[in-house]
Structure 1
Amino acid sequence: MTDGSALYVYALVRHREAAADGVTGLDGRPLRLLRAPGTEVAALVHEASPVPFQGGDEQVRRWVGEQNAAVTTVWERTGSVLPMTFNVLVADEPPSDRLPGGRSAEQRLTSWITERAQEITERLAELAGRCELRVEITVDRTAVGAPEQAARAGEEQPESRSAGMRRLLAKQREQQAKNVAGQLADTLHAQTRHALLAVAEDLRDRGHARTGPDETGVLSAALLVRDEDIDTVGRLLSDLRTREPATRVRFLGPWPPYSFTDDAASPATA
């Protein structure tokens, strides 16, 4: 891809000198902060072709990882960031009757930031000292069930039973485990969501939790928390695991607040 005629935008931040020094992005491209004149807001960018980055799954995953690493580094240096999604590009404006020369990508981006500077500044202030955590909770169906029923099923299944009957009883036990796990998951969803919201400033559901073949989903969520509350969330989830041994917990982060950035605040429409 040949660089030039567009800016690839990684994030919006409060301008801070040297915050992007030594930071590289996609394919090792050096990044810089582009400050909008008259504001305290800057965009983390590099020059690029106006054509979106495209490639195979492995290559795209590598690019996304490089983008995340760059945004995280600048986030840690500035304390607050509005990260962009992958492939946010601002291109040079084509010539028109009003502007025969068109506007450059830099002019378009800084103009867009200037128009929304107050909104962006306020959101950056709201997110200062905050991070995103992701929580996924499931129930392991092999670790739940009604022991008494399982014992009775074992007594009722001597080796003399036919293979068909043994398969039927096995399916009945599997369905019973699913039912018990589903009931537990419903209870834990409400309890855990309430407990997390007592700590987190915001919670965004992320759809169904990733589940293995023997798991029932409980909760998949992104949390916006203050930096000092990360350990509190960890203890809450540890207590859940101790209280309900059948639960499986995935606790990820801290990350920049990707899930709490307004999608409408994208310079792609500059």
Structure 2
Amino acid sequence: MSDTALYVYALLPDTPDAPGDPAEGVTGLDGRPLRLLRAPGTGLAALVHDGPPEPFEGGDEQVRRWVVEQDRAVVAVWERTGAVLPMTFNVLVAPGEDTAAEDRLTAWLAERAEELGARLRELAGRAELRVELTVDREEAVGDDERARALEAEMASRSPGMRRLLAKKLEHLRKEASERLADGIHADVRRRLAAVVEDIRDRTRTVRDPREAEVLTAALLVPAAEIETVGTVLADVQDSHPAVRVRFLGPWPPYSFTELTSGPAVPAAQAAAPGLSE
């Protein structure tokens, strides 16, 4: 029996009548050609490449490159099919003592066909957007007379006194930015909830000390509403000049896959745009 393992990129609906092979010409990690493994009778397929059962390991830069390559492959197939359940980095299905990796994976797909098929149908035609709204601390004080007075006083004071006044000014900016952030958070969330199907809060991996956080979230959005989300965010920014908006996507619905378990325990995970963070 072959000792070949399968590296799994994503699960997707198997639609034999659809024109073309969604995996045709798509490459994955280190340019490996990808293929569909179909589970007959389930309506499901897995996007995989063949290889040894060992996980991909390397330095930080190497792993980041692999994760980006995996993301690129999943996006390419998602754009062709409209629905995928992405896997995290390094999900491998190894052969058993007397069972090929292909048989193990197709058996798992058959066992979970109802759940997986339902989730793919729910996510069809949906995309993930990621938004970050923050308040610029300096802009938040606007024309505040106390801030202007502190800035003017700093110009004529000694270095030691300037440092003291700078701390007072920073405290004033911090209070103003956090007050504004708290004041608009609920309104922004309510307006987004009116045009998206789901909102998942996220944790910012990098925080800028010059900003106060309003909202960091993943949005599940029907394709027809992506422009509407952009319009809502543009209006928020127009209404509050101190607000900074970062709007990323569309991506496959990485944050909304919600599998209770995968075909194999991930051998390793890495953070990168689009993949598990």
TM-score by length of 2: 0.89
Unaligned 5+ residue runs, structure 1? Answer: 95-101
Q: CA deviation at 1:156?
A: 4.8
Equivalent residue number for residue 97 of structure 1: none
In the alignment, which residue of structure 2 is the partner of 1:152?
Answer: 149
In structure 1, distance between residues paired with 2:148 and 2:26: 61
- What is the correspondence of 1:15-164 to structure 2 with a 5 Å cutoff? 15-17=14-16, 18-94=21-97, 102-145=98-141, 147-154=144-151, 156=153, 159=156, 161-164=157-160
Do the aligned partners of 2:5 and 2:50 also contact (CA within 8 Å) in 1? yes
Q: State the SS of the aligned residue for 1:207.
A: coil
What per-residue deviation string (whole Å, max 9, x for no partner) do you get for residues 168-226 of structure 1? 11210110100110111112222111111111101111124743231111111000000
* 1:269 Cα deviation after fit: 5.1
Aligned residue among 243, 247, 254 for 2:250: 254
* Equivalent of 2:189 in 182, 188, 193: 193
Contact 2:147-2:172 at 8 Å conserved across structures: no
Paired residues of 2:91 and 2:265 also in contact (CA < 8 A): no
Identical-residue share of aligned pairs (%): 59
Distance in 2 (alpha carbons) for counterparts of 1:209 and 1:197: 24
| Offset at residue 25 of structure 1 (A) | 0.6
Aligned length: 260
Task: Please say if residues 136 and 209 of structure 1, whose CA atoms lie closer than 8 Å, have aligned partners that are also in contact.
Answer: no
SS at match of 2:264: helix
Tell me how far 1:86 sits from its aligned partner.
Answer: 0.5
Aligned residue number for residue 98 of structure 1? none
The structure having more radius of gyration, on CA atoms, is 1
Match of 1:99 in 2: none
CA 103–142 in structure 1, closer or farther in 2 if over 3 Å, else same = same
- Post-superposition offset of 1:152: 3.1
| Distance of aligned partners of 1:137 and 1:209 in 2 relative to their CA distance in 1, 3 Å threshold | farther
Structure of higher RCO (CA pairs closer than 8 Å, 6+ residues apart): 2
Task: Spell out, residue by residue over 1:219-269, the C-alpha distance to the aligned partner (whole angstroms, 9 max, x if none).
Answer: 110000000000000011111111111111110000000000114241115
What TM-score do the two structures reach when normalised by structure 1? 0.91
